[in-house]
Amino acid sequence: MEQKTVIITNELVKKYVSIDDVIEQVENTWKWYGEGKVIMPPKITTDMSSAGVNGWFNSMPSYIGPIDSAGIKVVGGYSDNPKKGLPFIRSNLLLTNPHDGFLRALICGDWISDARTGAQPAVAMKYLAAKSDIITVIGAGRQAFYAVTCISRLHKIKELRICDISKEARERFASYFPDADFDIVPYESNEEACRESDVIITLTTANAVLVEEPWCKPGSLVLTMGSFQEVSDDIARKFDKIYLDHIAQGMHRGQFLPMAERGEITADDFAAELPEIVAGKKPGRQNPEERLMCELVGMGSPDVCIATLAYERVTKAGEAVTTVDMLGE
Ligand SMILES: NC(=O)c1ccc[n+]([C@@H]2O[C@H](COP(=O)([O-])OP(=O)(O)OC[C@H]3O[C@@H](n4cnc5c(N)ncnc54)[C@H](O)[C@@H]3O)[C@@H](O)[C@H]2O)c1
């Protein structure tokens, strides 16, 4: 019988799990979710701003059938953190035995969350992008670093255009990739960057229209990933197909929330949930000319899957970790 809860730090996670593992687990979890093998209710947000606390956190539970693991990701965004030199996003994970509720592990979820966020556009592009020659990323922050890291492992990029409201952030971005075999070019104008781009990714903390529909060429793919609206409603209205990773979540937050509140968009307007495409149940891109948009709201199940891998590897290796008897017996 399991008796001790294991505490796993961010550094230990990074020692036992690679970026390539994360990319693989994101795709696996999406496939399993599309096959109906993952139980994952929509995430719940606790927004503390009306009580004067500058932050919110999401509770994201899931059970993953193929690996028989259950857990919850608790992830938040804390607006004062950047001023304190801390990351905006912080995450923690609990893993439990799905059959008796025993708390198996408490795991720092910071790297897992950042890496899986970056893996999402890389995997989505496999199914939805016509080309990856020119990619524009708007928002040169932490999640953008992981997105470009993961995309460059799966896709051949010629030019990466980086935009940010902060000149310093966009001009610094190339220095994070000293070995890049593609050009990283800062753009002050979102419009100039987006025109001719094969893929446009928004990953900002803004609640603003950063991309207009006429800037998106035939064959383009727009991926929105920030927590609020980032691109024009006309992209949803005029593109050939729109997708979400999780439709129920996407109706209550992020890019589509304003349209959903005005009754301008419903679940029926989406061609598919991305996991259905990964599971082979619905088609992804069908021709190189169609313009596609997908919001990647973010699911907690990939994090639970990656945390389970970390837990299994750390315990199997016999690492000297802190353990706790939660009953104190
Ligand atoms: N979809 C997901 O799965 C997922 C997961 C984690 C985080 N997020 C979201 O991703 C976003 C980015 O998070 P982060 O950790 O990279 O934050 P960050 O603070 O590290 O970076 C955000 C960047 O956006 C830039 N920005 C803000 N307003 C802008 C504007 N109007 N135009 C251009 N750039 C602007 C900032 O200058 C900053 O460089 C947040 O909204 C976060 O909640 C999404």
The structural domains of the chain, with segments of one domain joined by +, span 5-112+301-324, 116-295
Q: What is the pLDDT of residue 329?
A: 78
Domain 5-112+301-324 top-level CATH class: alpha beta
Predicted local distance difference test score (pLDDT) of residue 205: 95
| Ramachandran area for residue 328 (φ above 0: left; ψ -120 to 50: alpha; else beta) | left
Rounded distance from Cα 68 to ligand 1 centre (Å): 33
What's the mean pLDDT when you consider all of the chain? Answer: 97
Q: What confidence score (pLDDT) does residue 2 get?
A: 76
Please tell me the predicted confidence (pLDDT) of residue 115: 98
* pLDDT for residue 3: 83
| Residue whose CA is at the smallest distance from ligand 1 atom 20 | 141
Position 122 scores a pLDDT of 98
Atom of ligand 1 nearest to the CA of 297: 1
Which residues of the chain fall short of a pLDDT of 50? none
- What are 156's two structure tokens? 């051949």
Ligand 1 in reach of 302 Cβ (< 6 A)? no
pTM of the entire structure? 0.96
116-295, CATH topology level: Rossmann fold (3.40.50)
